[in-house]
């Protein structure tokens, strides 16, 4: 889920994307989508399954049973995961789970406590 930037001219939040450009329906201002990207990448926002913003050190719970790669273990739904660390990768949460050790989770499968 990505949020589009507000219109730099009139501050409208109804911006929509048109190819490589952003368009403001209120004042008809058009600007390049490319220019906005470096800033967005620098401040990546991690969100859980419910859309809450996650931060390093947060505690989350797992919202579905997660099979562990390369083992028969399953991290049960409802498992509490303390002190998460957010990383820029496919599995964007680094954490340690009691009984399982260090592992990586996806933000879409957790919910902030
Ligand atoms: Zn505008």
User: To the nearest whole percent, how much of the chain has pLDDT over 70?
Assistant: 90
pLDDT over 90 (residue 35): no
Alpha-carbon gap, residue 30 to 10, rounded angstroms: 12
- Chain segment 84-97, per-residue pLDDT in tens: 999 998 899 999 99
- Structural domains for the chain: 1-43 (2.20.25.10), 47-112 (2.30.30.40)
Question: Quick one: which of 87, 89, 90, 92 has its CA closest to 110?
Answer: 92
For the chain, the average pLDDT equals 89
- Chain segment 48-86, per-residue pLDDT in tens: 999 999 999 999 999 999 988 777 889 999 999 999 999
How far apart are the CA of 50 and the centre of ligand 1, in A? Answer: 30
Neighbours of ion ligand 1 (CB under 5 A): 7, 9-10, 12, 24, 26-27, 29
- What pLDDT does residue 38 have? 56
């Amino acid at each position: 889920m990505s949020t589009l930037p507000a219109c730099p001219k009139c501050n409208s939040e109804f911006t929509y994307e048109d190819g490589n450009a952003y368009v403001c329906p209120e004042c008809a201002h058009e600007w390049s989508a490319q220019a906005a990207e470096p800033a967005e990448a620098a401040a990546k926002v991690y969100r859980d399954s419910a859309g809450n913003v996650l931060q390093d050190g947060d505690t989350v719970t797992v919202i579905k049973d997660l099979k562990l790669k390369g083992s028969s273990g399953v991290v049960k739904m409802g498992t509490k995961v303390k002190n998460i660390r957010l990383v820029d990768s496919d599995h964007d949460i680094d954490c340690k789970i009691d009984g399982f050790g260090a592992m990586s989770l996806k933000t879409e499968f957790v919910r902030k406590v």
